[in-house]
Chains A and B, each alone.
Chain A
Amino acid sequence: MKPEELLFAQTHEWAHIADDVATIGISKNAVEALTDLVYMDLPAAGTAVKAGESFGEVESVKATSELYSPVDGEIVEVNTSLPDNLDVLNEDPYGQGWIIKIKMSNQDAVEKLLDFAAYEKQCDESH
């Protein structure tokens, strides 16, 4: 997927919205900032998530970072092969590097997400 087709949370997760299912990952900027990813802890399918709340964590050599859900709903699918192959996040963060799929219970949080241009602007400003 192209990043222009995605929506972004300020906390660097992306969401691809197709009807009531959101596919979630983390942005290329986030992957580059973390560097040296070594571990990812993911929830099981069936877990309920809330926008802005942690659903897992990703760890680099230096630090641990929470993964925040950009939307409300229930996890319906988890990319279980990802933790053993974190290089995928470097190679294809917006495609094969997807992390979870969420069946949304509502779309309230979606309108608060940023488009790619606005997200890039936020990243530039924080430098």
Chain B
Amino acid sequence: MAVDQLLKTPLNKTPLYQWHVDQNGRMVDFAGWSMPVQYSSIIDEHHQTRRSIGMFDVSHMGRLYFSGADVDKFLDRLTTRRVAGVQCGKIRYSLMTNDAGGILDDVLVYHLPDANGAPFHMMVVNASNRQKIVDWIGSNIGDSGIELEDRTSSTAMIAVQGPAANQAVAQLSETAPDSLAYYTGTTTNVCGAEAILTRTGYTGEDGCEIICEAEHAQKIWSDVFEIAQSVDGGASGLAARDTLRLEAGMPLYGHELSESINPAQTDLKFAIQMKDREFVGRSAILSARKDKTLPVRVGLKLEGRRAARQDCAVLIDDKKIGTVSSGTYSPTLETSISMAYVDPDKSEIGTEVIIDIRGKSHPATIVEVPFYKRT
């Protein structure tokens, strides 16, 4: 008898799970969630996002809501970027670090008005780090009186991305996404249901994300999907999400970010604010900034279409100078691209290197990140 199978925890399912299955989504285990990696062609799902609309079920990402006095000051002590005193309506990308400066997660901190206009704080964290972050915040709460509520299972999150995305959602939402500035959001009404609408995303395209109660997810998804289809857009899976974020030069936890990487190495200066504030990990970031031996994050463009994957060695004159953190074939640039951590004195733009892909040498050049910028 296959006892292992019986002992295995069943995968979490998002409110849109059945839709993905009905659309022949290839469902895979992603951080304990059954998620569609692709529906048909990854390249088509990539291009539709760059050219029209790609819709992504990102309900697996953790959604944590906070209540209590001075939530912003509490969170500010745990984030590398200032979130205290941020105006209501704004969203901040930040890293969270431990005392040693190791990156626990990269997160979005939201300060938004609720349906009655009252401000509240929430945070979106990576699915793979959700429990860790819940525990980490819990261990820091002390007698602050802050309460954390994990609403990941009771809500859904839909990313609508691409040049036609905001127009499509505007037809269904009380608030037009275009009326929101980049990285801001509000509570509004989408398809007759209360929802959080934000002008955010992880594809390098303009677009928005919708957070709603689980019971409204299918209606909102189907209505947006119908409009998306009418403009040659559609649903895109996690594989396209990965090729899109890589072209946009955005880091992914477990690849460019981990507990063994210090924020000083990541080339995410906008997400690290040191001046006149104190937060967990600050002194470790300060020391890392002075350490000129730590590998730094760079972009690499390879000759040809063969992708370098995580852990491939980066070499100059047969000497290892770094390691690939992610890589893929880029559907937009029609070549192979990678991100890597390399010795800082070999990190200059234009540096020519060799990447060892399963024993074969492939020439590559260090280039500016992002690889792709929308016009």
- A122 CB–B CB distance under 8 Å: no
A35/B309 in contact, CB under 8 A: no
B239/A62 in contact, CB under 8 A: yes
- List A28-54 residues whose CB lies under 8 Å from chain B: 35-36, 38-39, 41
User: Contacts A61-B329, A62-B42 given: A39-B360 contact, CB under 8 Å?
Assistant: no
User: Contacts A61-B239, A61-B243, A61-B328 given: A38-B307 contact, CB under 8 Å?
Assistant: yes
Complex CA–CA separation, A62 to B309 (angstroms): 10
Complex CA–CA separation, A64 to B308 (angstroms): 10
- A74 CB–B CB distance under 8 Å: no
Complex CA–CA separation, A65 to B309 (angstroms): 13
**DSSP majority for the A interface?**
strand
B contact residues around A57 at 8 Å (CB)? 358
B306/A61 in contact, CB under 8 A: no
Complex CA–CA separation, A64 to B359 (angstroms): 14
Size range of the chain A interface in the assembly = 10 to 19
Question: Which of B33-41, B61-69, B250-258 lies on the face that meets chain A?
Answer: B33-41
Q: Least Cβ distance of B331 to chain A in Å?
A: 7
Complex CA–CA separation, A39 to B82 (angstroms): 44
- A59 CB–B CB distance under 8 Å: yes
Complex CA–CA separation, A54 to B306 (angstroms): 18
B37/A62 in contact, CB under 8 A: yes
A contact residues around B40 at 8 Å (CB)? 35
Minimal Cβ-Cβ distance residue in A for B238:
A62
A61/B331 in contact, CB under 8 A: yes
A41/B43 in contact, CB under 8 A: no
User: Contacts A61-B243, A61-B329, A62-B239 given: A39-B306 contact, CB under 8 Å?
Assistant: yes
A36/B306 in contact, CB under 8 A: no
User: Contacts A41-B360, A61-B328, A61-B331 given: A36-B43 contact, CB under 8 Å?
Assistant: yes
B contact residues around A62 at 8 Å (CB)? 37-38, 42, 239
Q: Least Cβ distance of A121 to chain B in Å?
A: 21
Q: Least Cβ distance of B285 to chain A in Å?
A: 35
Complex CA–CA separation, A64 to B239 (angstroms): 14
- B13 CB–A CB distance under 8 Å: no
B contact residues around A64 at 8 Å (CB)? 307, 309, 358
Q: Least Cβ distance of A118 to chain B in Å?
A: 25
Interface 1/0 per residue, A94-111 and B, CB below 8 Å: 000000000000000000
B contact residues around A39 at 8 Å (CB)? 304-307, 329
Minimal Cβ-Cβ distance residue in B for A66:
B358
Q: Least Cβ distance of A73 to chain B in Å?
A: 23
The CB with the most chain A CB atoms within 10 A, among B41, B243, B329, is that of: B329
Minimal Cβ-Cβ distance residue in B for A61:
B42
Complex CA–CA separation, A116 to B40 (angstroms): 25
The CB with the most chain A CB atoms within 10 A, among B43, B305, B331, is that of: B305
**A41: contacting residue among B41, B306, B328, CB under 8 A:** B306
Q: Least Cβ distance of B358 to chain A in Å?
A: 8
**A35: contacting residue among B41, B305, B329, CB under 8 A:** B41
User: Contacts A41-B360, A61-B331, A64-B309 given: A35-B38 contact, CB under 8 Å?
Assistant: yes
Q: Least Cβ distance of B26 to chain A in Å?
A: 9
> What would be 26 A-B contacts, judged by CB atoms less than 8 Å apart?
A35-B38, A35-B40, A35-B41, A35-B42, A36-B43, A36-B329, A38-B305, A38-B306, A38-B307, A39-B305, A39-B307, A39-B329, A41-B306, A41-B360, A57-B358, A59-B306, A61-B42, A61-B43, A61-B243, A61-B307, A61-B328, A61-B331, A62-B37, A62-B38, A62-B42, A64-B309
